[in-house]
Amino acid sequence: GLLLSGGTLYVSTYQGRVAGLDLESGRVLWQRDASSYVGVAQGYGNVYVSEASGNVESVDERSSSALWTNDTMARRQLSAPEVFSSYVAVGDFEGYLHLLSQVDGRFVGRERIDSDGLRARPLVVGDTIYVFGNSGKLEALTIR
């Protein structure tokens, strides 16, 4: 997947590599390997990565070092992540939307959206997150 933030383009590939590229020059600022990537999100100076294994990882934008990894959702066929408030939101094959803390990756909560699963990346607009389920169900959630 592709993600643009400021002057940096983040690229993730299924071959297991994620990289930050300078948009003007195309120069690779950093890259790192992991098991296959599903997608990336960006927030608080970090890049958040969903891996095909079910791990979610936080990577420092500048140094490319891993800050934390959450491995509690192994084999849950995660969607690409999205940054929502101070959380990282990610969907799974059973239709749950999981919220992780951006700070340390700990599991904060989850909500069942669609029993057919969640494959599409959640979309954040303002203080609302929109989640589109595999059955066609669209749900809008806010944090109370």
Domain 2-142 annotated CATH 2.130.10.10: yes
Phi, psi (degrees; rounded to nearest 5) at 15 = -75, 0
User: Whole-model pTM?
Assistant: 0.82
Q: Return the SS3 of 18.
A: strand
Token code pair at residue 122:
């959640």
**What distance in Å separates the CA atoms of residue 129 and residue 82, rounded to the nearest whole number?**
9
The b-or-e profile of 88-97 (16+ CB within 10 A means b, else e) is: bbbbbbebbb
Contact residues for 119 (Cβ-Cβ < 8 A; gap 6+): 79, 91, 134
Taking only the tens of pLDDT, the chain with its 144 residues reads 677 778 888 777 656 677 888 888 988 888 877 655 677 888 888 989 888 889 999 988 888 888 999 999 999 999 999 999 999 999 999 999 999 999 999 999 999 999 999 999 899 988 999 999 999 899 999 987
Domains of the chain, residue spans: 2-142
